[in-house]
Structure 1
Amino acid sequence: MDQFRPRPANSTPLTPLTFLDRCATVYGDCPSIIYGHTTYTWKQTRQRCLQLASSISNLGIKKQQVVSVIAPNIPAMYELYFAIPFAGAIINSINTRLDARTVSVILTHSESKLIFIDYQSLPIVLDALSMFSPNTQKPMLVLITDDGCPTTSVGFGTTYESMVEKGDPGFNWIRPESEWDPITLNYTSGTTSSPKGVVHCHRGMFLIAVDSLIEWSVPKQPVYLWTLPMFHANGWSYTWGTAAVGAVNICLRKFDADVIYDSINKHGVTHMCGAPVVLNMLSNTPEVKRLKNPVKIMTAGAPPPAAVLARAESIGFIISHGYGLTETGGLVVTCAWKGEWDRLQGTERARLKARQGVRTVGFMDVDVVDPESGVSVTRDGLSIGEVVLRGGCVMLGYFKDPEGTAKSMRENGWFYTGDVAVMHPDEYIEIKDRSKDVIISGGENLSSVEVESILYTHPAVNEAAVVARADEFWGETPCAFVSLKAGMVGKVTEKEVVEYCRGKLPGYMVPKTVVFKEELPKTSTGKIQKFVLREMAKKMGPLRKSRM
């Protein structure tokens, strides 16, 4: 058997970009994207992506250079997930909820050469570019216009549609030389001191896209509603996956419960993804009627409360729950449902479904271990350890951060997530905490350290610590515990602190609760005891009717 080895015929690099070629052949005349009054077929989508890739190349963008996008879930955003890598470049999709300061950090760190900007985000991006140092080269700009775009913006340089129109219809897209070539660069948070840019390869994104379709049992030609931001880990890989099955992509610039229900009824939506905040929104809509046909929802980002699950399923939503990170490109753990659980009472079913679950069929291994020894914890649902992963879709590493890469991707062959969990006797895991003090608000990961750094710049603040507080709408929101400098007690209000942070942070990172303490609890070595503060926040109960 020694004579057998890889050959060119069986070693073609895996890439999710090939999904679009096949889709245009099989489902060419079927709708690919519906957005308001606009509808494209899969043939049209592939042609638009090729012409756009041609224009990107004509701008001088070289292989493996970074091209950024900041846009909501509109057709251009979907097309760019193919068009940018078609040109051999690396797509960097930026969270539209970030402030100018954070966007500036990302653009600088990524060395982005070109930015596609939705007209609504143009002021933020221009502000971000104004923060560049004089010696830093600014990227080229392309404006994405829309029906609601002000006429004053249309005259802004190059536009997205003009690039599509001018592109070569016979362009041959640039295939990766190796399946390990980078395809995406995603940032895990808005941290300004050390941004974490996650680099994924073509192979990893092919594997996670196929795995996600299999695990969720996505059929051919589903109707997929884009309620999950595409900038969230590349839409959990469904930006490419929907092309593999010839789906109809229903795009929404923005949405609320009424828009979602209208889209479901109008288009016959079968599938959608979103954080638990979306489930809460849908289940709390007054006088909502039961769905005519079931709609499957994949949720992740934070454990969905059992009561929310029960309410949503009573409306007709079929909910699946999973777990993943930006570093895995999508969900690699899901609460795989067992038939015998159907016989349980609703509250017990919801409790089981709220667990993160087991590895997906295409992922190799998941464990909960002691972070120091690497030994698996006891499978008793009580022993706490760190979640570790290994599989083909784990990132290549952190961009420009070899130390961070080595710390998380250890020599023992595991990726250490920093998430704290237990393993139940049935080998289903359940997340219990975040060792890095990450707060998940509306599906967005935010660092408590980042919020604390802003609080410490307030002239009246002596000490500050931020933990998560339960929120009925967002799942979690930042809760700040603050001690004031001498002479400032009674002179600063909660509202003033919140407004101070609002001027320096993205909306979702602004504390929704501020608690003034004479002194924050500390260890004997002077470290603030966050576990004590978490208990205080827990006793406050969930924040009601919070809005960003």
Structure 2
Amino acid sequence: MNITATVPSERRASMIESGAWNDKVITDYLDHAVSSRPDAPALIAYRVQQNVRRMFSYAELDHIVRRMAAGLAALGVDKGDIVSCQLPNWWEMTALHLACVRIGAVLNPLMPIFREHELRFMLGYAQSRVLVVPQTFRGFDYAAMVDGLRPELPALEHVLVIDSDDESRSFQRVLLDRAWEEETDTQALFADRKPHGDDVVQLLYTSGTTGEPKGVLHSSNTLFSNIRPYAERLHLGSDDIMFMASPLAHQTGFLYGLMMPIYLKSASVLQDVWDPAFAVKVAKAERPTFTMASTPFLADLIEIAPQHPEELSSLRVFVSAGAPIPGALVERAAAAIRAKIVSAWGMTENGAVTMTRPEDEPERAINSDGVAVPHMEVRVVDETGEDVPRGAEGNLLVRGASLFIGYLKRPDLYNVDDDGWFPTGDLARMDADGYIRITGRTKDVVIRGGENVPVVEIENLLYKHPAISAVALVGCPDERLGERLCAYVTLHEGHPSLSLQDVVSFLTEQRLTRNYLPEYLEVLPALPRTPSGKIQKFKLREQAKGICLPAAKPA
């Protein structure tokens, strides 16, 4: 399937006039880096389990990207085609995105935690032409999983497997061992295929209230209009070193671990498995100055930091997002590491929209999720769409340059109003200085460890369980992960009991990813409902606060 999206002429004119959009694509910035800093480190990737380090200069990265791009084109990948990848934070993912942009293809990153249930829908819905996976990662055989799915994916023409012994589908043998760039006029190919700033370059699935993932479409203009002010607010430049252990298949890792370093002509350091002790080793060797991750990463790092003050001394900025940062954690971080803790809020649809400033007092990171970055606006409104008084809770709306350009095949869900405002589904308060605080969500999503859990989809699976007559999933507060998933169920007559292990085993049989499994179960005689029969989840969320205790075992 060839992806295209139309940007309204009024929006484009406004964004160009304001300077928010400049029509540059990531390969423009790569070319600038290669011409000005060819020998400078561009990408350093660590595989934790193998204890392997791989480094590329900008010239080396450019060479391998050109070969990969020519190879993908030779495999039949056309402009606008979708190339999916289910990869950890390996160097191949950065190179693959750059190669796709060289030939105008669209990269579709998929989280490594996904299994058959998620991939069947995502790959089929996108009609992906190419899929790149590891042979194995963390003990799981991805190649075998994809082999089992291929009969259901007629559009999938090529599966390339990293570390495979099968030469016919080995990523190395197919794309890298052959000098594809010598078999074609790459200058003409890349010139002909170069995407416009408004062309789709990224398809990233997010979870919502519809019961199935939504495919978020971004252009180079929307992505870079977020990266540039983000880097400016944090005072990042070419001498900074970006450390990224957050998944590149998540918007956080993609924007600020893959794209931003190339924009800045700086170095990106990737770690594929989160291990705080290994991160300390990486920090000692590479001297990173910036990282961004969800709260659990920060909690784990500051737990180990007191034993390693010098190893972590280079870290200047730690941006935490995905869930509000507990105040106690910020205080502990201030005592354990020298980095400034910056709080942020954003979405797959926008990137980071609000951030505190490094110059702000520490209390800002504790008590707020920041103020809007340049070229973005936020409003807090009531049910009629009118602004609420400062300090009052309301629905959070977003407008601006980094707002995405649509959902794949679902124009009906792109509910941006005539003035450009997008309803986030979050509840928030705004103070007198424009700083917001996320207070809850109107949409039915639980955020665990910075990852959205598709609640409706899992509920639909649980309704298939022979013992369950009704189910509601809610999040319960957790200091480390932000939220954990709690299942409230009622049982059919004749089924007197149900255990958490029963639920986990059932969902595992459905091939649901481990990160989406409930961690608490409550069996009730009845679920609270409205007169019309709708489950009152706000009552269950209140009840869940009493069962999800701080002593819960970390994942």
TM-score norm. by structure 1 comes to 0.89
- For residue 358 of structure 1, the aligned residue among 371, 391, 397 is 371
Q: Does 1:501 align with 2:507?
A: yes
Residues 286 and 460 of structure 1: is their aligned pair in 2 closer, same or farther, counting only changes over 3 Å?
Answer: farther
Partner of 2:7: none
For residues 208 and 432 of structure 2, what CA distance do their matches in structure 1 show? 37
Q: Structure 2: which amino acid aligns with 1:527?
A: K
Residue aligned with 2:122, SS: helix
Alpha-carbon offset, residue 248 of structure 1? 2.0
Partner of 1:391: 400
- For residue 226 of structure 1, the aligned residue among 241, 244, 249 is 244
Q: Structure 1: which amino acid aligns with 2:376?
A: M
Task: Report % sequence identity.
Answer: 26
* 1:22-58 per-position Cα deviation (integer Å, ceiling 9, x unaligned): 1111211111222334221110001111111111111
Asked if the contact 2:109–2:204 (Cα under 8 Å) also holds between the matched residues in 1, the reply is yes
Q: Structure 2: which amino acid aligns with 1:433?
A: G
Which stretches of structure 1, 4 residues or more, deviate above 6 A after TM superposition?
Answer: none
Residue aligned with 2:465, SS: coil
Partner of 1:312: 333
Partner of 2:384: 373
Q: Structure 2: which amino acid aligns with 1:495?
A: Q
Residues 470 and 436 of structure 1: is their aligned pair in 2 closer, same or farther, counting only changes over 3 Å?
Answer: same
- For residue 325 of structure 1, the aligned residue among 347, 352, 373 is 347
Q: 5 Å matches for 1:134-533? A: 136-145=154-163, 153-160=165-172, 162-166=174-178, 167-168=180-181, 171-172=186-187, 173-174=190-191, 176=194, 178-189=196-207, 194-233=212-251, 235-238=253-256, 239-285=258-304, 288-291=307-310, 293-295=313-315, 296-316=317-337, 317-328=339-350, 330-339=351-360, 341=361, 349-350=362-363, 352-361=365-374, 363-370=375-382, 372-380=383-391, 383-405=392-414, 407=415, 409-490=416-497, 492-504=498-510, 505-533=512-540
For residues 156 and 476 of structure 1, what CA distance do their matches in structure 2 show? 44
Q: Does 1:69 align with 2:75?
A: no
Residues 257 and 177 of structure 1: is their aligned pair in 2 closer, same or farther, counting only changes over 3 Å?
Answer: closer
Alpha-carbon offset, residue 177 of structure 1? 5.2
Alpha-carbon offset, residue 500 of structure 1? 1.9
Alpha-carbon offset, residue 416 of structure 1? 1.2
Residue aligned with 2:546, SS: helix
Asked if the contact 1:19–1:240 (Cα under 8 Å) also holds between the matched residues in 2, the reply is no
For residues 541 and 94 of structure 1, what CA distance do their matches in structure 2 show? 30
Q: Does 1:542 align with 2:552?
A: no
Q: Structure 2: which amino acid aligns with 1:250?
A: V
Asked if the contact 2:380–2:394 (Cα under 8 Å) also holds between the matched residues in 1, the reply is yes
Residue aligned with 2:65, SS: helix
Residues 327 and 156 of structure 1: is their aligned pair in 2 closer, same or farther, counting only changes over 3 Å?
Answer: same
Residue aligned with 1:525, SS: coil
Asked if the contact 1:67–1:114 (Cα under 8 Å) also holds between the matched residues in 2, the reply is yes
Alpha-carbon offset, residue 259 of structure 1? 0.7
Alpha-carbon offset, residue 286 of structure 1? 8.2
Residue aligned with 1:143, SS: strand
Asked if the contact 2:65–2:99 (Cα under 8 Å) also holds between the matched residues in 1, the reply is yes
Alpha-carbon offset, residue 489 of structure 1? 2.1
Partner of 1:23: 33
Residue aligned with 1:115, SS: strand
For residues 376 and 536 of structure 1, what CA distance do their matches in structure 2 show? 31
Residue aligned with 1:327, SS: coil
Q: 5 Å matches for 1:28-43? A: 28-35=38-45, 36-43=52-59
Residue aligned with 1:237, SS: helix
For residues 407 and 64 of structure 2, what CA distance do their matches in structure 1 show? 32
Partner of 1:346: none
TM-score norm. by structure 2 comes to 0.88
Structure 2 spans left out of the alignment, 5+ residues: 1-15, 46-51
Residues 337 and 22 of structure 1: is their aligned pair in 2 closer, same or farther, counting only changes over 3 Å?
Answer: closer
Asked if the contact 1:81–1:240 (Cα under 8 Å) also holds between the matched residues in 2, the reply is no
Residues 128 and 116 of structure 1: is their aligned pair in 2 closer, same or farther, counting only changes over 3 Å?
Answer: closer
Number of residue equivalences: 518
Residues 536 and 12 of structure 1: is their aligned pair in 2 closer, same or farther, counting only changes over 3 Å?
Answer: closer
* 1:81-103 per-position Cα deviation (integer Å, ceiling 9, x unaligned): 21111111001001111111101
Structure 1 spans left out of the alignment, 5+ residues: 1-5, 146-151, 342-348
Alpha-carbon offset, residue 190 of structure 1? 9.0
Alpha-carbon offset, residue 216 of structure 1? 1.7
Partner of 2:134: 118
Residues 96 and 432 of structure 1: is their aligned pair in 2 closer, same or farther, counting only changes over 3 Å?
Answer: same
